[in-house]
Structure 1
């Protein structure tokens, strides 16, 4: 199938770190603004195409495939660096293109990549849009204040649905219970879009699997549920043992942040079933040791608390919570995201 929509161009951008695939909606004439879009886990730049095409003609839009996703080079992900392999790759692309500071949007895991870029290369960031972001404390395995529980037990590469990984490896385009199509329909959005669904599935199927990519490795743990994060691969980049983005509170120059989220997000919420501790509390995974030992992670509350600290330290942010919206506001309420972008 055709994966690049009319009006979108594709570039291979070589950098010192990797060969990156970048899609672009060029501006007409001299652009008044460049916006950069960073996708999340099990996806690629293809998910941003309708949004890019809807931007005003004088806005240049770039979307970058992260390593191991889309058509970018597949390289190992060193999760001991948190999300830095990804953010350093993004910085390399922006340096190669000579963009200067940009308005940058990150979706889900991509929002964490954007915050890591802000920490390490603030010269490249003009303003930030966080769409359905991973918590600044990582994904899973923390108390409300960010304290790591039991060495992060229940988070990282071991917290994946093995049947879903197998479906990605098999390039499954069907609608079985663990297929990418079903995961898109039930968790990426609240209301699926039949017009582009095949394209979204193709994007998800570009995810490269393995211990060095998705999902990554894990280590044994004496704490329930018996595994802890490893140091390789995608899911471990967001494990609380490897990721801490709260340093944004202390950076000297704080750009405006807009946080956009869906109130019906099934992936990032205060009670998501992607959190092993929530699965234990609900009785889906047996043996849960209880609320004191393994409470579910309140991801939205954690993000708000860190952004409140960011504002108190001299920054500014706006939270936009959308009713009847899932994990993908740019697909479900593109007019809201467009307004923020321009």
Structure 2
């Protein structure tokens, strides 16, 4: 596993976990705004950046990723880090909390995947829309995007090119990338593709859209067939959680453009069976419901929403994001 580190070993510890189709380099616009005295540790998850493209066993949910990252918890000299997770990395951070609640000082979830995974659930309790979780996992990926990602395409000639997807969905306004666009595109193009990595394999389904989750690869780790992170509400130790998101997020939202049910509702995927059979997943509502239960069971959380901001607040609002993180780290230092 490749790991980026910054700052003195004995500095306030912060562990940054990147999201899907990116790498530790996706944190660079934020790191510039953080104190030089902090100890920053930012791994490349398996199959991303400069880390080895080890196979991902989706039947373990997000545990392959979380187990890899857990090895870094001992690198802070006994101090408990503040763990920051973006998108997929937010799910990895929640799995890390489930497995190592005593080792984490606080959690910052940036545009995190729902505790009930991605797609295929109908309500705030994460009830599946079909018995076989149709419409989730490796078969839900856009094949043109996967093809162009594998080819490391840097152009804009095809609608599904990585650059076009990054500009359209990773932020609310592509100008927020500024001079970092090529760097951030590099992180996206570092993604290992195939059935063992991104997007993963798939299975046939008798339910719309006639594809279900497989057992290998990244998108299957996010299928509700294999992942359920709502158990954080029952942890005996509950570090404070800060949830940061943008109000224009097109990836993780209650009307996500990456949820096949939402695309079917919009008429973009034919044959959608309607809201009663297959409603779009209420992703934001699910996260809020779980965090409210976390609070009722003795934990604390706060939700911060940035206006006119998309899926990457740490890029679109780096100074504001850094200010919040400084508050979290400061409070964690006082508690320790």
Same fold per superposition (TM over 0.5)? yes
Q: Where do residues 232-311 of structure 1 align in structure 2 (5 Å cutoff)? A: 232-311=216-295
What RMSD in Å do the two structures reach over aligned CA positions? 1.2
The verdict on how the C-alpha distance between 1:158 and 1:305 changes in structure 2, with shifts beyond 3 A counting, is same
Alignment of 1:1-342 (within 5 A): 20-27=1-8, 30-31=10-11, 33-95=12-74, 98=77, 100-144=79-123, 145-150=125-130, 151-176=132-157, 177-192=159-174, 193-342=177-326
CA displacement, residues 303-328 of structure 1 (integer Å, 9 cap, x when unaligned):
00000000000000000011010000
- TM-score between the two structures when normalised by the length of structure 1: 0.92
Cα distance, 1:98 vs structure 2: 4.4
Unaligned stretches of 5+ in structure 2?
327-336
Distance between the aligned counterparts of 2:19 and 2:78, measured in 1?
22
SS in 2 for 1:225: coil
Instruction: Map Cα deviations across residues 82-128 of structure 1 (whole Å, 9 max, x no partner).
Output: 00000000001333564541001000000000000000112321100
Contact 2:105 2:239 in 1 (8 A): yes
Question: What is the CA deviation profile of residues 121-148 of structure 1, one whole-angstrom value per residue up to 9, with x for unaligned ones?
Answer: 1232110000000000000000112011
Cα offset, 1:336, TM superposition? 2.1
- Per the normalisation by structure 2, the TM-score is 0.93
CA contact (8 A) 1:188 1:327 kept: yes
CA deviation string 1:184-228 (max 9, x = no partner):
100000122231100111110100001000000111000000011
Q: Of the two structures, which has the highest relative contact order with CA contacts closer than 8 Å and spacing of 6 or more?
A: 2
**Higher mean Cα deviation, 232-241 or 174-183?**
174-183
1:43 CA drift (Å): 0.3
Compared CA separation, residues 297 and 107, structure 1 to 2 (3 A)? same
How many equivalent pairs are there? 321
Q: Which runs of 5+ in 1 are unaligned?
A: 1-19
**For residues 163 and 16 of structure 2, what CA distance do their matches in structure 1 show?**
23
SS in 2 for 1:106: strand
* Cα distance in 2 for residues equivalent to 1:45 and 1:124: 21
Alignment partners' CA distance in 2, 1:292 and 1:194: 43
